[in-house]
A and B are shown apart, each in its own frame.
Chain A
Amino acid sequence: MAAIRKSGGVVAFFWDGKIADPRDQAFCDAMANRRFRTIENAASEEISAGWVTALDPTGDSFGLEDLDGGAGTWLRFRIDKKKLPMKWLQIHRDAAEKSRGKKLSARERRELKDDLMDKLLPRVLPSVQLVDALLFFDKKTVLLFATSKSAREVFGKLFLESFGVPLERANPLQSGLRVGLDEATKYELERAEPVRWPQAEKAGELARAARSKAVDPTDADVAEADA
């Protein structure tokens, strides 16, 4: 087993409510219920996502010791995607049109595609993506080591289905509600409005005015902007 990553992007999530303790077997059981299931031999295009561990990328086993991430609990999920390469479809369509001497109709193209999917997809290997996360149980925080929208969504869905609580992605509001502010300050946070910097605004207005008159600048304009 390699060590957890030491660089890259990270997105923080928080949860409220109670989830199984990662030191208990119930936590492993919850992951096992949404374990990764292979689509290696599937005959249709599909995506499969589920939990695995750093020790076992198949999703067949979940042991408490496999989740040891030092200060946190090391979660890993796997996303496999099976897709017929479009180039193959194009090659077969071109060959069919060449032998017929004319273009295929829409229905014929669809039938050719379905036929090829049935024949070729069982032979296509899915792409594999392994994504890690560190869960800090006492802090109700989990750090996901992927920033793409698709990985975030899969993770949120898996977490909810496994542990029964939704995740809140960190952002200036959600993070602010979790930095130990008192209730009155939280109230202010929820209603905060952007600061309008008075001097900076003035400078900005002058600059914009200068730009709008920049087609034929006069000495007076320059003097105004300098002021």
Chain B
Amino acid sequence: MTQQTDTGADTHGFLGEEFLTWLWFRWETEGGDFTLPGGRLVGVALDDFLLFAAKSEDETEQTLRRGLPTRTAEARTALRQGHRLRKARLLVAEGSRQWSATLDATTLTLGGVKLPEDAEECESDVDRTADRSANWLALHEIVQGLYGQFLRERLRADYKKSGAEKQARWMAG
């Protein structure tokens, strides 16, 4: 028996895919710097793994690995055909800390996370646990903050005439 509900992944999974595609758009067009609530400055870039969602059940998913997949003709074609990103490996930086993780857009699950190196002043396992715990929380808050920023733009009444149109031009370009 489980008490967890996961209907949001089924009904709103597309929003996670739009979020990931928007991160790519923002990274390419504005450099990937974001100011999150509380004045938190973070940088986001897409790394060496992209998985494009199929547009329907009978279409094929496309995976691009290694090198710079965002620069490939296959990636541009997928965008041009209106495919959203389902998964991507992200590099996230805040100050001197850097994380990498694969974001599964439909569930917002983070896979293969690598935390920043332990702080130099960590001398014991208790110190390391405290440092890593703070880094796990920071990564979660950054992803939440970015998603919140995306939603505030995406759910605006004039989104289709502003942000969506810009992104559509980028996707078709």
A72, CB-defined interface residue at 8 Å: yes
Is residue A36 within 8 Å, beta carbon to beta carbon, of the partner chain?
no
Q: Number of B interface residues, CB 8 Å?
A: 64
A141 at the interface (CB under 8 A from B): yes
Chain B hits for A196, CB < 8 A: 82
> What residues of B have a CB within 8 angstroms of the CB of A207 in the complex?
77, 80-81
Residues A70 and B130 in contact in the complex (CB < 8 Å), given A7-B114, A147-B111, A179-B144: yes
A7-B115, A141-B140 known; A200+B171 contact, CB < 8 A: yes
Interface SS majority for chain A: mixed
Known: A172-B16, A176-B12, A200-B172. Contact between A7 and B113, CB under 8 A? yes
Instruction: Indicate if the CB atoms of B152 and A181 lie closer than 8 Å.
Output: yes
B172 touches A199 (CB 8 A): yes
Beta-carbon contact of A204 and B144 below 8 Å:
no
- Chain B residues near A122: list those with CB within 8 A: none
> Are the CB atoms of B108 and A9 closer together than 8 Å?
no
| Total count of chain A residues near the partner, CB < 8 A | 61
Say whether A172 contacts B13, CB under 8 Å. Answer: yes
* Residue pair A1, B81 in contact (C-beta under 8 Å): no
A33 CB within 8 Å of chain B: no
A25 to B130, CA, bound (A): 21
Interface assignment of B65: CB less than 8 Å from any CB of chain A: no
Confirm or deny: A116 has a beta carbon within 8 angstroms of a beta carbon on chain B: no
Q: Bound state CA distance, A128 and B57, in angstroms?
A: 38
Chain B residues near A167 (CB-CB < 8 A) = 3-4
Contact residue among B125, B131, B151, B172 (Cβ-Cβ distance under 8 Å from A176): B151
**B151 and A181 contact, CB distance less than 8 A:** yes
A12 B108 Cβ-Cβ under 8 A? yes
Which of A85-93, A186-194, A215-223 interfaces with chain B? A186-194
Closest to A144 in B: B109
Q: Is the CB of A189 within 8 A of B151?
A: yes
Contacts of B129 in A (CB 8 A): 3-4, 68-70, 74
Taking A9-B112, A71-B130, A169-B4 as contacts, is the C-beta distance between A188 and B80 under 8 angstroms? no
Query: With A9-B112, A176-B15, A179-B145 in contact, do A72 and B133 touch (Cβ < 8 Å)?
Result: yes
Contact A9/B128 with A176-B12, A178-B144 known, Cβ cut-off 8 Å: no
Docked pose: A136 CA to B137 CA in angstroms? 8
Q: Which residues of A contact B16 (CB under 8 A)?
A: 171-172
Please tell me which one of the listed residues B106, B111, B140, B172 contacts residue A9 in the complex, with CB atoms under 8 A apart.
B111
B147 at interface, CB cutoff 8 A: yes
Task: Return 6 A-B CB contacts under 8 Å, by A number.
Answer: A70-B130, A169-B4, A178-B144, A179-B147, A197-B164, A202-B172
Q: Besides the contacts A179-B148, A179-B151, what 19 more A-B pairs have beta carbons closer than 8 Å? A: A6-B135, A71-B133, A147-B109, A152-B4, A153-B4, A171-B6, A173-B11, A173-B12, A175-B147, A176-B148, A178-B144, A179-B144, A181-B152, A189-B155, A201-B82, A203-B82, A203-B172, A204-B81, A207-B80
- Of all A-B residue pairs in the complex, the 7 with the closest CB atoms, nearest first, are A70-B130, A173-B8, A179-B148, A199-B172, A200-B82, A3-B128, A70-B133
